Amino acid sequence: MFAQNGGRAACVVVLALLGVLSILICVGIGTVPVTPAEVIRALFVDDGSTARLLVWELRLPRVLCCALVGICLSLSGCILQGVMRNHMASPSTIGVTGGASLVGYLTLVVCPQYAALLPLGAILGAFAATMLIYALAYRRGASPVKMILSGMAVSALCGACNDMIKLLFAGSLGNASGFLVGGFNGCVWPSVGLIAPYALVGGVICIFLPTGLNLLMLGDEPARALGLRSEAFRFLLIAVASILAGASIAVAGLISFVGLIVPHIARLLVGSDYRWLMPASACLGCALVTVCDTVGRVILPPGEIPAGVILSLLGAPFFLWLLRNRETGGEG
Amino acid sequence: MYFGFDRLTVAYGRGRPILRGLTLELAQGEITALVGPNGCGKSTLLKTVPRLLRPISGEVIYRDRPLRALSPRRAAQKIAYLGQFHTAPGDLPVRTLVGYGRSPHGRDAARDRAVVDDALARTGLTALADRSLATLSGGERQRAWIAMALCQQPELLLLDEPTTYLDVGYQLEVLELVRALRDELGMTVLMVLHDLNLAARFADRLCAMRDGDIVADSTPDAVLTPAMLREVFGITAEVHRDETNGCPYFIPIRNEEIR
């Protein structure tokens, strides 16, 4: 949409502002509304007021979790679509979702006393499943097609195991709805502390990835001819993507579609150049998840609709619309 | 040896070797064209240079030493390779694609810009620099990829069928560009060509391959003969002299082999 670099830069700046604004505004929205002025004051001054309690103790950690999860999932999807050279790739493609949820379920069923370690387990599960898929697809280099196929197989296997556990141990899973449905209910400051290190490390690594990702998008052959160690680089990318997505799942459970649609929308806005695509995706993911969670929080009071449900309800039709109007799929 | 292949043997998987102990030495500042029937190993030979294929035995030699002693990045500063098939996101501007050729070199914005501008000018793409790849014709697109390879500022350029899919006008244009690179920049070029007449006209040296080895290697006049055409391609042909361009050309008469 924006062909010139100036337009792309402006677009990224607007998206970044959108991300920040969505955080500030969503913190103010709820059964007890807080004005923007009160929000700003509550963020910086601990005056013991109700606004401070609402904003600082309840809403801010939740909104920050949304923002970080949105950023992590979007970056993860963005990276994976580049690695696989396939616009349909997303964290679930490389088994991140399947592996993380399997370890999550096992933790809840086998040793519920360690439920506090569930996030760490989810990250390990995501990483392990990804490496398994990589190993299965590896034969003198792991080609994207083989990875997507073995990813589907491993994901299906994990899904089957998850269904078995859900059937056999329905009782033990009763108190884990957040993990099952995908939502931010119950996000508190420690949740922010859990995802923040991964988001920070992943985000910093992401700053150094666009140049190589751009080359990889040309295909393995040209990328290697330009001096990129494509196998090693692809391994790094997959590891980073699985950690980013694993950390998100650890905090917010299974949230689908963010990793798939956010990079798509960003690509429509700023094009395929990863130097613009990655920041645009991160900002857009931040805004989208934050807004969807807030919508789910206030739309049916006093109840709540998990953000994952809202995202899928909006995401699926949007994705179908994208498929019908694909203009950026052309290759040159 | 400036650049060459020393007893190179390459196979895909456990299959029959595609290259069988092939030895070839390139002369600096010359255009060498590889010709031969489909499947004789021309592309395979080129692919060993950017390490897209690993030889079972033998070495690619660069300045008297094995090329693999250089890191992929260092090698990419000296040698550019352009494969037969390439795709890029269609919305990419020409200038961005061409600029990717700078990636093996350290970042230096002013220098990068100058090199990219020069490559665009040499390939006649200056006016199209801000267009997206999807809006280009086949010939323009091929030139954009060649411009990318030029941005590596290589000493040695490897081209795998650079004229495929191009009409005769663009074919001449691309090969004239290759000749200008040799004349103006002293570049050494090794390219695979299917059109023997174009190869004879633009190359300083013709190497004919069959079954994974070189069977003829000399000037176009010495290589493009009825005997070679019969032995390598299995055809009966007449060879004449093109006085306008000072090179031999051939007219195929009939296929002698049922392949």
**Contact check, Cβ <8 Å, B90/A330:** yes
CA distances (Å), origin B236, targets A21, B135, B201, B253 = 77, 43, 20, 5
- A29-38, B121-130, B213-222, B246-255: range with lowest mean pLDDT: A29-38
Optimal mutation site among B91, B132, B145, interface A, most CBs of chain A within 10 A: B91
CA distance A115 to chain B (A): 45
Closest-CA residue to A86 (of A145, A132, A131, A136): A145
Whole-number Å distance between alpha carbons of B25 and B207 = 11
| The overall pTM is greater than 0.90 | no
Closest-CA residue to B164 (of B29, B24, B30, B38): B38
Average pLDDT (B77-99) is 91
Per-residue pLDDT of chain A (332 residues; tens, 9 = 90+): 555 677 888 999 999 999 999 998 888 888 778 887 888 888 888 777 777 888 888 889 999 999 999 999 999 999 988 888 877 788 877 778 888 888 888 887 887 777 667 777 888 888 888 888 888 887 766 677 888 888 888 888 988 988 888 888 877 666 555 565 667 887 888 888 888 988 999 999 999 999 999 999 898 889 999 999 988 998 899 889 988 988 888 888 778 788 888 998 898 888 889 999 999 999 999 999 999 999 888 888 777 888 888 888 887 787 677 667 765 444 44
Q: Is the pLDDT of residue B235 over 50?
A: yes
- The pLDDT value recorded for residue A155 is 87
Amino acid present at A48:
G
**Contact check, Cβ <8 Å, B72/A272:** no
Q: Is the pLDDT of residue B216 over 50?
A: yes
CA distance B144 to chain A (A): 10
Length of chain A: 332
- Give the up-direction half-sphere exposure of residue B174: CA atoms within 13 A in the CB hemisphere: 28
Edge-first strand listing for the sheet containing B19-26:
B19-26, B3-10, B57-62, B65-66
Spell out which chain B residues touch chain A, with contact meaning CB-CB distance below 8 angstroms: 47, 50-52, 71-77, 80-83, 86-93, 96-97, 100-101, 103-104, 130, 132-134, 136, 141, 152
On chain B, the residues whose CB falls within 8 A of the CB of A223 are none
**Contact check, Cβ <8 Å, B92/A4:** no
Angle (CA) B232-B168-B141 rounded to 5° is: 105
- The pLDDT value recorded for residue A70 is 94
**A228 at interface of B, judged by CB pairs closer than 8 A:** yes
Q: Is the peptide bond before B248 cis (omega within 30 degrees of 0)?
A: no
Phi, psi of B170 (to 5 degrees): -70, -35
- The pLDDT value recorded for residue B218 is 94
Average pLDDT (B19-43) is 93
Please, which residues bridge with residue A23 across strands? Answer: none
Asked whether the ipTM of the predicted complex exceeds the cut of 0.85, the reply is yes
**A143 at interface of B, judged by CB pairs closer than 8 A:** no
Whole-number Å distance between alpha carbons of A279 and B65 = 43
Find, in chain A, the residue whose alpha carbon is nearest to that of B73: A227
Identify the three-state secondary structure at position B158: strand
Please, which residues bridge with residue B22 across strands? Answer: B8
- The pLDDT value recorded for residue A173 is 67
CA distance B206 to chain A (A): 25
- The pLDDT value recorded for residue A141 is 64
Angle (CA) A262-A14-A218 rounded to 5° is: 50
More confident residue, A107 or B228: B228
CA distances (Å), origin A132, targets A94, A137, A233, B146, B208 = 10, 9, 18, 39, 46
Average pLDDT (B174-201) is 94
On chain A, the residues whose CB falls within 8 A of the CB of B83 are 221-222, 225
On chain A, the residues whose CB falls within 8 A of the CB of B75 are 227
Average pLDDT (B103-110) is 89
Identify the three-state secondary structure at position B157: strand
Average pLDDT (B107-111) is 88
Interface of A with B in 67-86 (CB under 8 A): none
CA distance A91 to chain B (A): 22
**Contact check, Cβ <8 Å, B100/A332:** no
On chain A, the residues whose CB falls within 8 A of the CB of B92 are 271-273, 332
Find, in chain A, the residue whose alpha carbon is nearest to that of B72: A227
User: Using CB atoms, which residue from B50, B92, B136 is nearest to A273?
Assistant: B92
Optimal mutation site among A5, A221, A233, A267, interface B, most CBs of chain B within 10 A: A221
Closest-CA residue to A56 (of A40, A32, A33, A68): A40
**Contact check, Cβ <8 Å, A215/B72:** no
User: Using CB atoms, which residue from A218, A224, A228 is nearest to B52?
Assistant: A224
Eight-class DSSP state of A64: H
On chain A, the residues whose CB falls within 8 A of the CB of B104 are 226-227
How high does pLDDT run on average in chain B?
91
Residue B126 pLDDT class (50, 70, 90 cuts): very high
